[in-house]
Structure 1
Amino acid sequence: MKLLVIGGTGKTGHELIKQGLAQGHVITAVVRKPKKIKYSNPNLYVEKGDVLVPKSFERLVKGQDAVLSALGHKQFIIRTTILSRGTKNIVSAMSRNQVKRFICITSLGINDSKFKLGLYYTLFTIPFILYFYFLDKSKQEKIIMDSALEWTIVRPGQLTNGKKRTIYKHGSNVGHYILTKMISRADVAHFMLYILNTNSYLKSTVGITN
């Protein structure tokens, strides 16, 4: 498939590119700093773009079979709208170019998965450290859900840099109200690529943890 990857310089985005290429997909990675992509492949196209500037990436959406977003940022403790504004631009560009399939990472602990990141996140991390970040993720999800795209929102538990195991739990009831469940970025990327080839979780949210 021809896949557009947003957020390719992040650790999850890196896994999406690496695993997608290994599966034979043709990957176009939209990144603000192309030099951060350190490897090359005949099926990899690295393009400079910013999701907050639609004209910088919209031409790259045309002709893609799907868009995979691992969009994130590090502005956790200040008010931010990068995720929601960026996702709104992605959704609009996909709609204008008639690209339907969209898979996007957010997190457990948002909207109807509230509290499912465990007590530590529920009582401390989200309200005191990640409040604005999670608020923006919640807005991001609503933009996707309100679209006419064939979307899937993937909600991982606490992300780790562990190896790809391909053994994990996924579904609407994944997560825990007391314990913080984890999942490697490599396994999240594996799952996103897996559901590209199925009709599983179309227009649905899905949690994923070990």
Structure 2
Amino acid sequence: MTVLVVGASGETGSKLVEQLLIKNHKVKVIVRSPEKLPVSWTTNADLQIITASILDLSDEEMRALVKDSGAVASCLGHNMTFKGLYGKPRRLVTDATQRLCNAIQSNNSNSKTKFVLMNTTWNRNRDLNEPISFGQKCVIGLLRLLLPPHVDNEKAADYLRTQIGQNNSAVDWVAVRPDGLINEDEVTEYEIHQSPTRSAIFNDGKVSRINVAHFMASLINDDNLWRKWKGQMPVIYSKSYQA
């Protein structure tokens, strides 16, 4: 299968690319600064590097990119700088998700495309009754006012839930919600839950970026796992940090 990955130069996106290559997929990545990529990527015959900013692509270019892709994965996020948090584009994740899904649908393919979005446990799945404390509601309310990237993450997932929905003829989706992200070199045991089992604000868990990448790649690779989680927003924790 050919998989298109956006946000591939990020810490989790780069690990997702590596996990997909391990599983023998062909991978296409869209990056703005290819010089920052590992040298091994430039010589890998199974990896196509496209130099572009995702939102600068025309609709026709977007359709061409997704046409032969059996899956699309988004690890897009905002840089943790003042410009990244408060500058444009404020709707990077949402707009990219919408445009990619529109491109998939406009190609009128006979088969469905898997869309995997990396999201966050700070965002509730509003298809479920996920209770949170009054204190967490207050903090999330402040985040909506003060941190545009949080609103962007919420709107991207809401677009998949409400606009793509559960019975789209072209797109099936999963929004993966990692808790506190950390760096580790190897895949370790991890847990997947339908909803958070702890407070993302006051008692967050931990999950390594490589575990998130492994789960996202497994969703794309394993049709049984995909059927289990499609149309949902699973939460991932590394087992070793769930004391």
TM-score range (shorter-chain normalised) is 0.7 to 0.9
Work out whether 1:150 is the aligned partner of 2:172.
Answer: yes
1:186 Cα offset (Å):
0.3
Work out whether 1:209 is the aligned partner of 2:237.
Answer: yes
The match for 1:49 among 38, 48, 52 is 52
Work out whether 1:172 is the aligned partner of 2:200.
Answer: no
Gaps of 5+ in 1: none
1:83 Cα offset (Å):
1.5
The match for 2:218 among 170, 184, 194 is 194
Residue of structure 1 equivalent to 2:148: 132
1:130 Cα offset (Å):
6.3
Residues 51 and 159 of structure 1: CA distance in aligned 2, closer, same or farther (over 3 Å): same
Q: Which moved more, 1:184-193 or 1:47-56?
A: 47-56
> 3-state SS of the aligned residue for 2:120?
coil
Residue of structure 2 equivalent to 1:19: 19
The match for 1:103 among 98, 116, 126 is 116
The match for 1:76 among 78, 82, 85 is 85
Gaps of 5+ in 2: 239-243
1:122 Cα offset (Å):
7.0
Q: Distance in 1 between matches of 2:142 and 2:29?
A: 30
Residues 30 and 127 of structure 1: CA distance in aligned 2, closer, same or farther (over 3 Å): same
Q: Distance in 2 between matches of 1:142 and 1:128?
A: 15
1:7 Cα offset (Å):
0.7
The match for 2:101 among 91, 116, 136 is 91
1:85 Cα offset (Å):
1.3
Residue of structure 2 equivalent to 1:29: 29
> 3-state SS of the aligned residue for 1:111?
coil
The match for 1:162 among 161, 175, 184 is 184
Report sequence identity in percent. Answer: 24
CA displacement 1:10-34 (0-9 Å, x = unmatched): 0111001111111111111111222
Q: Is the 8 A contact 1:156 1:207 kept in 2?
A: yes
> 3-state SS of the aligned residue for 1:112?
coil
Count of equivalent residues: 208
> 3-state SS of the aligned residue for 1:109?
coil
Q: Distance in 2 between matches of 1:191 and 1:134?
A: 23
Look at both structures and tell me which one has the larger radius of gyration over its CA atoms: 2
> 3-state SS of the aligned residue for 1:76?
helix
TM-score, with length taken from structure 2: 0.76
Q: Is the 8 A contact 1:9 1:31 kept in 2?
A: yes
1:127 Cα offset (Å):
2.6
1:124 Cα offset (Å):
8.5
Q: Distance in 1 between matches of 2:63 and 2:115?
A: 15
Q: Distance in 2 between matches of 1:162 and 1:120?
A: 28
Work out whether 1:112 is the aligned partner of 2:117.
Answer: no
More helix as a share of residues: 2
